[in-house]
Amino acid sequence: MIVVKGILIILIIVTSDLIGNMKAKTFSKRYFSLKKFKSGLGVFKSKLEFTYEPISEIFEDISKLVYENEENIFQRYVQNNDWNLAVDGEKDFLNDDKEVAKGLGKMLGKLDKSGQLNEINLVDEFLDKQIEQSFEEKQKNEKLYKILGRSAGIAIAIVLI
């Protein structure tokens, strides 16, 4: 009976710790997703300025270069030809992040080169603020949720003892 109780307590502590770590990772994922998106926009801006490739080819290149063919906004746009749908599929972004990203889609392919570059610059500025905010949240909350998960597990274990 004591062995079973001991195993149960260890499982509770480990499970609570894992839940805390999973919640903590959401802050890192958002931060790194925003950074990758900003990098992708940098590639888009450069290719738009210096090449005459169609947007879909540029986005395919971004998927290969920045995202190493993992699922991403640019790849979803190429598949669906709908920027808002591509942005909505980004699970690591908050609603504010999605609104910033959707700002690019309103003029995507509808303006001349300089207009699109200005739009990219505008979105880039907003992204800087979102990245800074996500970094601060990551710094503050990541450690908090890790400790909270472990502490909750220990607290439940103490109650069961």
Check: CB of residue 145 under 8 Å from CB of residue 24. Answer: yes
If you count them, how many residues does the chain have?
Answer: 161
pLDDT digits (tens, 9 = 90+) for 78-93: 998 889 999 999 999 9
Asked whether the CA dihedral 106, 109, 115, 119 is positive or negative, the reply is positive
Contacts of 100 (CB under 8 A, 6+ apart): 123, 126, 127, 130
The whole-number pLDDT of residue 62 equals: 93
Cα(160)–Cα(43) distance, rounded to whole angstroms? 55
Contacts of 50 (CB under 8 A, 6+ apart): none
* pLDDT category of residue 73 using cuts at 50, 70 and 90: very high
Whether residue 6 has pLDDT greater than 90 = no
pLDDT digits (tens, 9 = 90+) for 129-139: 999 999 999 99
DSSP per residue, 25-74: HHHHHHHHHHHHHHHHHHHHHHHHHH----HHHHHHHHHHHTSTTSS-HH
The whole-number pLDDT of residue 4 equals: 85
Residue 1 identity = M
The whole-number pLDDT of residue 119 equals: 86
Q: How far is CA 153 from the centre of its chain?
A: 28
The whole-number pLDDT of residue 38 equals: 95
Q: How far is CA 154 from the centre of its chain?
A: 31
Residues 133-161, mean pLDDT to the nearest whole number:
90
The structure's pTM equals 0.84
The whole-number pLDDT of residue 104 equals: 85
Residue recorded with tokens 């995202």 = 67
pLDDT digits (tens, 9 = 90+) for 13-27: 999 999 999 999 999
Cα first-last separation, the chain: 12
